Structure 1
Amino acid sequence: MTSSFRPLLRRTLLATICSIGIAGLSGALPAQAQVTAFKQAVAAAAASDDAVAAFYRDRDYQPIWTDPGDEARQRRAAFLDVLTNAAAQGLPEARYDVEGLKAQMAAVRTTRDLGEVEVALSRAFVTYAKDVQTGILTPGKVVPDIKREVPLHDRESYLNEFALSDQPQAYLRHLPPMTAEYRGLMKEKLRLEYVMMHGGWGPRVNAQKIEPGDSGPAVIALRNRLIAMGYLDRSATGTYDAALQAAVQRFQQAHGLEPDGIAGTGTLSEVNQPVEDRLKSIIVAMERERWLNHERGERHILVNQTDFSAKIIDHGRVTFETRSVIGKNAHDRRSPEFSDEMEHMVINPSWYVPRSIVVNEYLPKLRNNPGAAGHLEITDSRGRKISRADADFSQYSARSFPFAMRQPPGASNALGRVKFMFPNKYNIYLHDTPQKNLFNREVRAFSHGCIRLSDPFDFAYALLAPQVDDPKAYFKSILDTGKETKVMLKTPVPVHLIYRTAFTDGRGRAEFRRDVYGRDAEIWQALQQAGVTLGSVQG
């Protein structure tokens, strides 16, 4: 028994009553017996949790919560406060059972009760700390296409850090992501909850299309809904005038729609989305932000699949942005989510056709016509071009087909004139494309999974700028050779492929996008199953 531990048990009856509202201990035991009973209670209560058990074992079962001193009191107060407000973080309040913890504390009568309270607080603490810092869910178990490696913190280290901290409130305050994005999402969550409490955004707009010059009930409903959403100043107009048109354009821009100022089917569908659905998107985005709660790089590339965009971020500021095309919404083509590092670009690339495309798309055509897909070379295991006339493709199955296929560099190459590589096991990269017309579409999900860029040359110039004096001339000099050339980036750039149906812009304003692959709907369902709720909702 340590000398620092004896006074705790001697003072338990009096001090614990005052400090945490525990009713008191009956049948006071000698100090030695109290120490033994406390240790046994802690060891037994922590036995089913390896991290908590190891923490107490390493500190000879000394408490961090039930000590009668000021430090323990401050820890309890700070922790119970964050648990009471867990819903503000989009977390499931019931998971931490704050009222149950308080009741357990108030019901303490024996030293064993006190030990069980000690462990109950620690177990709730490590659960909350993990949830608020790196998320409630395991992303890949909810959506297999989310390949993200969540930066999990060792559970025992949470307790060690908290025990050593002399500022428990500050420690707890810094557990959630300390990003402007997370703060912006929390702010929007509070705003939407306020809107719900006060009746929502008003009646739906019942129309197929509304355009400048129109008037009537649908125009009034559109006007009122845009006012409630914050896209239009208060107005009594009953006509689709210039002010209303400008408001529609602002709404369209904030929802990834073509800002033509006409409220067509797509725009009205988004206008009519209830507050509840927008709030779900915000809470899912907060969970996603927790999954990405690590250093992203002073310079990094951010591809938001739902926004169909690719950006270069320098020191928190967007320095380059271009439109993108993502994978088609089919089971084997959806673009995955993960992070990696871009190491190089290939100018004048060949397209080495992925095996899945070779056997699933081209082999059936070759069986019927050996001359099919004539723009592609067929090569053997040594890279030698084979003669189509001498090959009998009908004898091969998808499993036995022994050849590879390659499209040489050129203007019509499927990868365009440049690709950007961050080698990964998913064979995903960013690249140019000859199909420029796709970038004019509002929803741009057409690829086999890779990310196509609208302005790949400008993207290359931005990446090369830190390492060459004239990136445009340098790039062009290689491009003009027509030869496949690898250009290394002197400093690899982190790449984050994300999927956010809700996010904030540079001014902290919330924007929303369609759930292209339905992933956020699956995540919301999993969050609900974990106990996350919206409360009372009105449309």
Structure 2
Amino acid sequence: MSIKMRAGVALVAIAVTFTGVISAPPPVQAQGLLDALFKSPAQRKRERQAREQATRQPVEAPKPVVKVRGPRYHKYKPDTLVKVDFGKIADPVVTGGINDMGLSPLGIDPFAEGRPALADLSVKALPEAAEAVVEYYSSHPGYIWVAGTAITDRARAVVDVLNAADEVGLSAADYKVDVPADAFDVTQGTERQKELMAFEMKLSVAVANYMLDASRGRVDPNRISGYHDFKRKSPDLARQLEALSKAADPAEALLAQNPQGAHFEALKAELKRLQDLDESERIEIAADLLLKPGQANPELANVIAAIEMKGSDALKTDNALLFASYAGKPEYDEELVALVKAFQKEAGLKPDGVVGPATRRALVGITNADKIEKVRLAMERARWLPGVLASRRVFINQPAYTATYYEGGKSDLSMRVVVGKRSNQTNFFDDEIELVEFNPYWGVPQSIIINEMLPKLRADPSYLDRLGYEVTAGGRAVSSSSVNWNAVGKGSGIGVRQPPSNGNALGELKILFPNRHAIYMHDTPSKSLFKRDTRALSHGCVRLQDPRAMAAKVLGTSVADIGSHIAGGQNKQVQLSTKIPVHVAYFTAWPDDNGTVEYFADVYNRDSYLRKAIDATEAARTS
């Protein structure tokens, strides 16, 4: 009998049970018999060692998911005031004629006469202001605000501007300078010169501080949170002091350090109007009220009373009988729902009859004190923007949920937008629009890959393949199912993008102003979101209600031309012939096209953070 036959007989014998029925042999035992019959001892040893090594290998555990987190809010650290080192002001060197040195006809140098006062003078200033004052007087050793033994009218006019700093949203206490009396004892000439020198320096320091605050704000926005991104302005204060010394109207030149334009003038006018008003009556409604048709709530009585107070004369006339007959019942019936809907329509809200946060705000309103606060915060934020806004620009105001295109300094197009939700806040920054991309790819942000997609992919690695997403590993295209998602984490080099399609998250187009926050304006297939009053719903980018119209404006073309770019279905980029400034801004008070200041809810609670920063700044300056 051959070896093969003997092996076969042996296997059959092993497989036959005591009942005589042939059953499948145990695989391991059968494999062991085959190994014994056909494999050499050396081969069996190698395979046994391999099996033992594999057994010792630990099973790879999924890499912990470390979520990609957004920016944080900080405890604000204000600028520190420093002592001005007047000792660094160089002595004048006589190299020219009497007039060149600013000497009096008798050859007396008033500035030199007052110089001894500098030894004992102690004045604190912002670091840049302290440096600028020393730099200016080192190269220009002469008075700006003093003539002979008196204070000039130019100086008095500048002091008036400093004393009125509250009118432009600053604090007059930061720039207070006492003006010496006109009368003085002529026998104490030296003391008078010291007094004038002290006034000169204190006023120039106050002016330098004012110019710095007026042009860039008292607060450095980047210290508030990572959601603020501005290159802080660094004006040449020494040169500006020189220009101010030569200005025909130094008071006007000093005021011009504040933002210029209709928006800031409207804020100034609104601040004055509010400060002249008496506090208006208001009806309180519970902050957490959410009242739907058919429900009952005791707060309904306050809702009806507020409508009667806030509604238009026409609304009151049309519903006079209802107001007269309403007895405070808590049931929210059809008749009262119709009244609420009419008020919502008047207030520009969605007339759905649901009394939620937006309707409550419209009913309760905000106090004059609250409005004053919002206007002053808006004036501070306005200083972070360019001093003069470009006549052609795009302005996105997140609390208003609007994007507006300006041409020739006038609003030419405005639309609703969706901005980032509270957990994915849209940043506050300036940039320039450079291009429009049609039928765009959506490069999925790492935060979405790690925070939202990764848990699904670990359970179902082919998830992205089925959805038609493209995956890259180290820049090389791979299938989703081929990736070991258990090993993927932050910084793993895995990329995901969605090709152009009807379901693409960016819709038909995106308008790009490349920035490190990966924020841009774009289309969206979720059109229903624009019907909502509160539209903080995105992952941070700005979704446009009418993206074709905005694209046409920034490209300087027609909506029909935009449609032809999209119709091809191919990914395509079109560069702007001239870049357009875009302000991704955050203002809870801002003027409309007619100069009327409107007020908006503080969706990200940034007003309170800015208020804390201003309070910390004022405390540091008065300590």
2:179 is equivalent to residue 102 of structure 1: yes
Distance in 1 (CA, whole Å) between partners of 2:351 and 2:319 is: 24
Among all aligned residue pairs of Structure 1 and Structure 2, give the percentage whose two residues are the same amino acid.
30
Pick which of 405-414 and 361-370 moved more: 361-370
Hey, what does 2:223 align to over in structure 1?
Answer: 141
2:166 is equivalent to residue 84 of structure 1: no
Could you list the per-position Cα deviations for residues 2-50 of structure 1 after superposition, in whole angstroms to 9, with x for gaps in the alignment?
724575597xxxxxxxxxxxxxxxxxxx947x65453354587589821
Do the aligned residues in 1 keep the contact of 2:358 with 2:534 (CA within 8 Å)? no
| Unaligned runs of at least 5 residues, structure 2 | 1-93, 185-189, 294-299, 325-338
Do the aligned residues in 2 keep the contact of 1:285 with 1:500 (CA within 8 Å)? yes
2:367 is equivalent to residue 274 of structure 1: yes
Distance in 1 (CA, whole Å) between partners of 2:494 and 2:173 is: 57
Q: Give the counterpart of 1:112 among 161, 181, 194.
A: 194
CA gap 1:97/1:349 in 2 versus in 1, 3 angstroms: same
Do the aligned residues in 2 keep the contact of 1:216 with 1:238 (CA within 8 Å)? no
Do the aligned residues in 1 keep the contact of 2:522 with 2:542 (CA within 8 Å)? yes
AA partner of residue 197 (structure 2): G
Aligned length: 489
How far off is 1:398 after superposition? Answer: 2.6
Distance in 2 (CA, whole Å) between partners of 1:8 and 1:210 is: 82
Hey, what does 1:425 align to over in structure 2?
Answer: 516
AA partner of residue 292 (structure 1): L
Could you list the per-position Cα deviations for residues 120-154 of structure 1 after superposition, in whole angstroms to 9, with x for gaps in the alignment?
11001111122223322111112331112344422
Hey, what does 2:135 align to over in structure 1?
Answer: 54
**Normalising to structure 2: TM-score of the pair?**
0.70
How far off is 1:295 after superposition? Answer: 3.6
Distance in 2 (CA, whole Å) between partners of 1:166 and 1:233 is: 57
Hey, what does 1:75 align to over in structure 2?
Answer: 154
Do the aligned residues in 1 keep the contact of 2:422 with 2:536 (CA within 8 Å)? yes
How far off is 1:232 after superposition? Answer: 9.8
Do the aligned residues in 1 keep the contact of 2:292 with 2:353 (CA within 8 Å)? no
Q: Which has the larger radius of gyration?
A: 2
Distance in 2 (CA, whole Å) between partners of 1:51 and 1:427 is: 38
Q: Give the counterpart of 2:404 among 304, 308, 311.
A: 311
Distance in 2 (CA, whole Å) between partners of 1:141 and 1:251 is: 40
Distance in 2 (CA, whole Å) between partners of 1:67 and 1:502 is: 44
Distance in 1 (CA, whole Å) between partners of 2:594 and 2:379 is: 18
**Normalising to structure 1: TM-score of the pair?**
0.80
Do the aligned residues in 2 keep the contact of 1:43 with 1:53 (CA within 8 Å)? no
How far off is 1:56 after superposition? Answer: 0.3
Do the aligned residues in 2 keep the contact of 1:306 with 1:513 (CA within 8 Å)? yes
Could you list the per-position Cα deviations for residues 317-340 of structure 1 after superposition, in whole angstroms to 9, with x for gaps in the alignment?
21112211111101xx21111111
Distance in 2 (CA, whole Å) between partners of 1:105 and 1:235 is: 67
RMSD across aligned C-alpha pairs, in angstroms?
Answer: 3.6
2:593 is equivalent to residue 506 of structure 1: yes
CA gap 1:238/1:160 in 2 versus in 1, 3 angstroms: farther
Equivalent residues in 2 for 1:122-521, closer than 5 Å: 122-195=204-277, 198=278, 200-206=279-285, 219=304, 222-224=307-309, 248=343, 252-253=347-348, 257-258=349-350, 266-272=358-364, 273-330=366-423, 333-374=424-465, 375=467, 376-382=469-475, 384-399=476-491, 401-464=492-555, 466=556, 468=557, 471-521=558-608
CA gap 1:404/1:235 in 2 versus in 1, 3 angstroms: closer
Do the aligned residues in 2 keep the contact of 1:201 with 1:275 (CA within 8 Å)? yes
SS of residue matched to 2:248: coil
Distance in 1 (CA, whole Å) between partners of 2:562 and 2:508 is: 11
Do the aligned residues in 1 keep the contact of 2:548 with 2:563 (CA within 8 Å)? no
Hey, what does 2:22 align to over in structure 1?
Answer: none
Do the aligned residues in 1 keep the contact of 2:394 with 2:580 (CA within 8 Å)? yes
How far off is 1:220 after superposition? Answer: 5.2
Distance in 2 (CA, whole Å) between partners of 1:90 and 1:73 is: 27
Hey, what does 2:609 align to over in structure 1?
Answer: 522
Distance in 1 (CA, whole Å) between partners of 2:112 and 2:342 is: 70
How far off is 1:479 after superposition? Answer: 1.6
CA gap 1:73/1:364 in 2 versus in 1, 3 angstroms: same
